[in-house]
Amino acid sequence: MKRRTFLGTSAAASLGVIATGTAQTPTNANSDVKLKGNINHSACYWCYNSIPLDTFLQNLNELGVKAIDLVGPEDFPLLKKHGIHASMCWGAGKGIVEGWNNPALHDELVADYKEKIPLIAEGGYTNLICFSGNRNGMDDDKGLENCVKGLEQILPLAEKHGIVIQMELLNSKVDHKDYMCDHVDWGVELCKQLKSDSFKLLYDIYHMQIMEGDVIRTIRDYHEYIGHYHTGGNPGRHEIDETQELYYPAIMKAILETGYQGHVAQEFIPSWEDKIAALKQGVTICDV
């Protein structure tokens, strides 16, 4: 399933074709691995949603992964049952395409986020995702101005409840055509104008490799504005192993060197038949 379909938004661009055919699980993929404890691992559920959530949470516990990304308040009882933390919540807003850069949506977005922020806090979680929306012919400076005006209306409540609103950086070249928050500089300027510790950027390594590259330097230069990380192999958004161009052990070490103590969530689309074995491999690669 494509992520924007899972979000309930109109599909305008593909997240990438899921590999089919003869991809095989390496023979050592299910070998026992003891995690080092330096990286707080998580996994984005939409990549594995063919597996019932109750089962997937059990799988995470078996892997030693204690967090999950992109779940909403309706999922919190199951998370409590399995002792899994919600490292990035969703459920507020209208999805990727329609976001905070559109002032016509501000009243609806503000009401929705003000409803969800206390629910996230009551669940004991701290991160809630948001999106800029598509440009639709809008100048980036005007979109920035609109995002500031909208987000300023919810940040006092977020601050009160200890919630961090995190805008995701996505590529507009391959997967999310016309998406506005597609460069780190734009996102950092938004952070600077909002001037709140309750607003950060969700740095998706896969997406920013496509748009900008220079991932490690960017992390070092702008880590104070980054509140969360997602992984993914490029090209194709599949496994983060030798089949793609990013070397994740070095990226993880760079993240740790910044003093980051949040979560790193695997957000690649498994091409292996055994999706949990693929997830285990990804976690192991990132466990520096």
Residue of 248, 264, 252, 265 whose CA lies nearest to 45: 265
Residues 238/19, Cβ–Cβ less than 8 Å: yes
Mean pLDDT value across residues 165-192: 98
Number of residues that this document lists for the chain: 288
Which pLDDT score, from 0 to 100, does residue 149 have? 98
How is residue 71 annotated by DSSP? Answer: E
Is the pLDDT at 264 greater than 50? The verdict is yes
Residues 6+ apart with CB under 8 A from 268: 47, 206, 231, 232, 233, 237, 238, 239, 240, 278, 282
Per-residue confidence band for 49, with pLDDT thresholds at 50, 70 and 90: very high
Mean pLDDT value across residues 49-73: 98
Worst-scoring range by mean pLDDT, 28-42, 89-103, 145-159? 28-42
Mean pLDDT value across residues 161-186: 98
Question: Which residue in the block uniquely carries the two structure tokens 């701290």?
Answer: 126
Cα separation of 174 and 111, whole Å? 32
Question: Which residue in the block uniquely carries the two structure tokens 């995002």?
Answer: 147
Residue 214 backbone phi and psi in degrees, to 5: 50, 45
Mean pLDDT value across residues 189-216: 98
Strands 199-204 and 40-43: what pairing?
A: unpaired
Per-residue confidence band for 259, with pLDDT thresholds at 50, 70 and 90: very high
Is the pLDDT at 166 greater than 60? The verdict is yes
Helix axis angle for 184-194 and 215-222, nearest 10°, is: 10
**Helices assigned H by DSSP within the chain:** 3-7, 53-63, 76-82, 106-123, 140-151, 155-161, 184-194, 205-211, 215-222, 248-257, 275-286
Entry pTM: 0.90
**pLDDT averaged over the chain?**
91
Mean pLDDT value across residues 199-211: 98
Question: Which residue in the block uniquely carries the two structure tokens 């607003």?
Answer: 199
Q: For the chain, how long is the longest CA-to-CA vector?
A: 53
The model's pLDDT over 126-135, given as tens digits with 9 standing for 90+, comes to 999 999 999 9
Q: Cα 1 to the chain's mean position, in Å?
A: 16
Is the pLDDT at 27 greater than 90? The verdict is no
Per-residue confidence band for 20, with pLDDT thresholds at 50, 70 and 90: very low
Instruction: Count Cβ atoms within 10 A of the Cβ of residue 223 and give its class: 0-12 exposed, 13-18 middle, 19 or more buried.
Output: middle
Structural domains in the chain, CATH included, are: 3-7+39-286 (3.20.20.150)
Which pLDDT score, from 0 to 100, does residue 6 have? 44
Q: Cα 114 to the chain's mean position, in Å?
A: 21
Is the pLDDT at 209 greater than 50? The verdict is yes
Query: How many CB atoms within 10 Å of residue 224?
Result: 11
Which pLDDT score, from 0 to 100, does residue 5 have? 44
